[in-house]
């Protein structure tokens, strides 16, 4: 209701029973829609307590600052990659922000790149030089780099999609660039290619029970873009070939129901999809077979033993291969027996860097907390002054 009103430029109608703003904020954070929900609260401040209003604003402000940090980070990373002749494709940037009525309403979860496997060593050196910390990526096979205040950058050496048709199509497009472009650098895909990649990620998120309201909102603005509407026929044919026509249809209906003007609704399916999203994939699991026909083979892919895979990834991250370590310890070319010592040195470096980042985050939290307490004290003093009880008189009475 709040999101629909904001997107359609309408005033938020508060129901008679009222709104649990704290619960709304919790859901907004989980579904990554804090900014548009905050815009929805601007017309109904009277129903908000001072504490809730302050909490909403701080969350919104933090998200806006993070988006600006993502924009600046992307510019610097692209410049560094081109400077060091790293060949690759920008899979996900900050382009979705420009499609929203106000750019602050957009949200960037991560920057994602596809690079040649041979350039992964270069990427590590570049990101390390910019104070990014490499972290273990539990959700997929990409290499995740993190930097305060919350910037996530992921590099893949293959397209991270489960749908075979979309995977082959995008991989073929990327290979044409890798083999046909003599000048190294990061290429920006056109919007239709970005949409196909993003659509594949939405399908994967749905299969893992991680599809969020933000995903549906992004989809809504993607399909409104002229660059997508002009390629609609090509996109629909490819999605049909991939067995995703029904998924696209239901996602389209749900987006129209939530953010558009509504229309004819298949209540037997789209409301189940809505419940599936809000329950994190725990409800209506049999819905998969309706909107994704090849559910059996796909579910096998997503329901593999992730705990075992997680242990393997941790082990591989803590003890990289000798070939990988040679990039940072050239002495291994002459004395490979020193691999264990080099693993230890690398572990100490990672620990020191992680500790440094942790201390920096804690300091920022303490400063933020102190600033918040200072603001509350000042507000209390101002309220007393407005009531005609200056601080000096209050102390004299005591």
pLDDT tens, the chain, 398 aa long: 555 555 555 555 555 555 677 777 888 888 888 888 887 777 665 566 777 778 888 888 888 899 999 999 999 999 999 999 888 899 999 988 888 888 888 899 999 999 988 888 899 999 999 999 888 766 667 899 999 888 999 999 899 988 889 999 999 988 887 776 666 688 888 899 999 999 999 988 888 778 888 999 999 999 989 989 889 999 999 999 998 888 888 888 888 877 775 555 555 566 666 666 766 544 445 455 556 555 444 444 444 444 555 566 667 777 777 777 877 788 888 888 888 888 888 888 877 877 887 787 788 778 878 887 887 788 777 776 766 655 444 444 44
Indicate the domain borders of the chain.
209-303
Strand 186-188 and strand 88-92: the pairing is parallel
> Measured between alpha carbons, how far is 272 from 255 in angstroms, rounded to an integer?
14
> Measured between alpha carbons, how far is 98 from 222 in angstroms, rounded to an integer?
10
H or E element that contains 111: strand 111-115
The SS3 call for residue 113 is strand
Q: Which two structure tokens, joined as six digits, stand for 26?
A: 């919790």
If you search the block for the tokens 């910019």, which residue do you land on?
130
> Measured between alpha carbons, how far is 375 from 54 in angstroms, rounded to an integer?
11
Residue of 43, 41, 111 whose CA lies nearest to 73: 111
| Preceding amide of 149 cis, omega within 30 | yes
DSSP state, residue 45: G
Q: Residue 156: beta bridge partners?
A: 114
H or E element that contains 122: helix 120-129
Q: Residue 113: beta bridge partners?
A: 90, 155
Q: Residue 320: beta bridge partners?
A: none
If you search the block for the tokens 């806006």, which residue do you land on?
64
């Amino acid at each position: 209701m709040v999101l629909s009103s904001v997107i359609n430029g309408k005033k938020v109608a508060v129901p008679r029973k009222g709104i649990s703003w704290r619960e709304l904020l919790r859901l907004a954070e989980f579904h990554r829609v804090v900014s548009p929900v905050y815009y929805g609260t601007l017309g109904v401040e009277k129903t908000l307590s001072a504490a809730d209003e302050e909490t909403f604003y701080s969350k919104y402000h933090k998200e806006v600052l993070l988006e600006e940090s993502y924009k600046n980070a992307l510019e610097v990373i692209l410049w560094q990659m081109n400077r060091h002749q790293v060949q690759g494709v920008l899979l996900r940037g900050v382009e979705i922000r420009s499609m929203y009525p106000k750019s602050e309403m957009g949200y960037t979860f991560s920057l994602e790149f596809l690079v040649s496997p041979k350039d992964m060593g270069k990427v590590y050196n570049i990101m390390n030089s910019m104070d990014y910390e490499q972290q273990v990526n539990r959700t997929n096979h990409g290499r995740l780099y993190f930097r305060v205040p919350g910037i996530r950058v992921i590099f893949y050496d293959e397209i991270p999609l489960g749908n075979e048709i979309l995977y082959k199509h995008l991989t073929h497009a990327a290979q044409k660039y890798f083999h046909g472009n003599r000048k190294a650098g990061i290429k920006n895909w056109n919007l239709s290619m970005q949409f196909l990649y993003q659509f594949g990620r939405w399908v994967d998120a749905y299969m893992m029970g991680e599809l969020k309201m933000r995903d549906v909102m992004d989809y809504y603005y993607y399909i409104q873009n002229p660059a997508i509407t002009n390629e609609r026929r090509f996109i629909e044919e490819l999605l049909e070939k991939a067995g995703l026509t029904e998924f696209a249809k239901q996602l389209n209906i749900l987006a129209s129901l939530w953010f558009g003007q509504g229309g004819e609704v298949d209540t037997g399916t789209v409301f189940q999809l809505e419940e599936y999203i809000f329950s994190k994939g725990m409800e209506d699991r049999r819905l998969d077979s309706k909107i994704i026909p090849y559910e059996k083979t796909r579910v096998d892919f997503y329901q593999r033993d992730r705990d075992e895979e997680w242990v393997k990834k941790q082990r591989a991250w803590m003890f990289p291969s000798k070939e990988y370590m040679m990039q940072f310890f050239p002495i291994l070319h002459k004395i490979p027996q020193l691999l264990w010592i080099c693993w230890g040195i690398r572990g100490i470096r990672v620990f020191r860097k992680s500790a440094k980042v942790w201390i920096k985050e804690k300091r920022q939290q303490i400063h933020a907390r102190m600033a918040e307490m200072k603001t509350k004290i000042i507000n209390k003093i101002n309220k007393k002054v407005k009531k005609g009880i200056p601080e000096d008189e209050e102390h004299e009475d005591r």
